[in-house]
Amino acid sequence: MSFKNATMVWKNGTLLPWTEATFHVSVHGLHYGTGVFEGIRAYETERGPAVFRLQEHIQRLFASARIHSIEIPYSQETLEEAVLETLRANGLQSAYLRPIVFFGSESLGLLPLNCPTEVAILAWEWDLLLGAESAEKGIRATISSWQKFDSNAMPATAKACGQYLNSVLATREARARGFHEALLLNSSGNLAEGAGENVFLVKNGTLVTNGQADDVLLGITRDSVLQLARDRSLPIVTRSISKLDLFTADEAFVTGTAAEIVPLCEIDGQTIGTGQRPVTRELQQAYQAAVRGQDPHHPEWLAYAEKPGFRVQGLGSRG
C-alpha cells in the first residue's frame, strides 16, 4: 500500500493538503485506541466514480461511536457528503476511503476527559488487500493461535481502532508462517472471522456463514453478498462454523471492503474442495457488477461523486 496518489484530507470540516493534515502526538486515540473508523471503496463506473454503500458505512460509523460513547459533531448526511468531497478533491477514479473519529488531545487518563472529538477522512488508491491476484487464484490461510476477543470483553459489532490489535497479532503470525491470512476462532472454538474479513462456506450448494453470536463484525460486504445470493435464490444458512466445517467445505471464501471476495483455496496445508469454485465465482461476478453500476437491482448501493462541471482524471468532463 502506498499513499503516493493521495493529495487532500478532510479534517474537521476543512480540506487540507495531505502533509498538513496532522494531529498532536498526545491525542487520546493514539495512546489508547479510543476511536472508530470505516473502510469504504469507490469504483469507476460509466457515470464517474461511485462510492459503494456509503450510507450503510456511515451509519455503522455512528453506531460504533455510540457504543464507545463518542459523540460525532456532524450529521450522517454531512459526513456522507464529506466522503464524496474528499474523493472529488483527490481526483481519483477509484479509491479506498477511510473516515476516522477519535478522541483528541486534552488529557491522557483512561477517561478521555475534555478530549475533543476529531474527525478525518482519507482517500487513496489501494489494490486488493490480499494481493492483486487473490480474487482469481485464492489465498492460503492458517488458523491463528490468537483467539478472537469475546464480545463480552469488547463489542465485536463496533469497528473500533483499538480492537484491531487482535487482527494485527494474527496477521503478523500468519505472514511469519508463510500464509496470506489468519482465521481466528472464538472462545467456543468455532470460527469467528478472518483478521480483516468475514468467512463464507459452500456445502452442497448452500451458502453458510456465521453471525453476531460468533463474535464477528457484521461486514457490509458480507451483507451485500447475502443479498446477491438471495437475488439468485441460493440457499443460505447462518450458524456457527466449526473447524471440521472449514475443512470439509466444497468452497470457502472471505469478504471485506479491502479484500472484496477472495477464495480460500487452502487452510493449514489442506486444500478446500476440488478447486472448482462455481458459487464463489458467481458471487464475485455479481459483486463486481454491483460496485460498477452494472446491476439494475441495486442502484441504491452507489453514491456518485460527480457534480456538474467536475473533471475526473482520465474521464473528462461530465454533467
User: Which positions are annotated as active-site residues?
Assistant: 159
Q: Position of cell 463484525?
A: 217
Is 202:252 a contact under the CB 8 Å cutoff? yes
User: Which three three-digit cell numbers place residue 248?
Assistant: 470439509
**Any idea what DSSP says for residue 175?**
H
In SS3 terms, 79-126 reads as HHHHHHHHHHHHCCCCEEEEEEEEECCCCCCCCCCCCCEEEEEEEECC
The answer to whether 246 touches 269, Cβ cutoff 8 Å, is: no
Q: Which residue has the cell 439468485?
A: 232
Measured CA to CA, the distance from residue 265 to residue 271 in angstroms comes to 6
For residue 285, the number of C-alpha atoms closer than 13 Å in the C-beta half-sphere is 7
- Strand intervals (E) in the chain: 8-11, 14-17, 35-37, 40-45, 48-52, 95-103, 117-124, 139-143, 181-185, 191-194, 198-203, 206-209, 236-238, 251-256, 260-267, 270-271, 302-304, 311-312, 316-317
Q: Please say whether the beta carbons of 184 and 173 come within 8 A.
A: no
CB atoms within 10 A of CB 31: 14
Q: Please, which residues bridge with residue 143 across strands?
A: 183
Residue 240 contacts residue 193 (beta carbons within 8 Å) = no
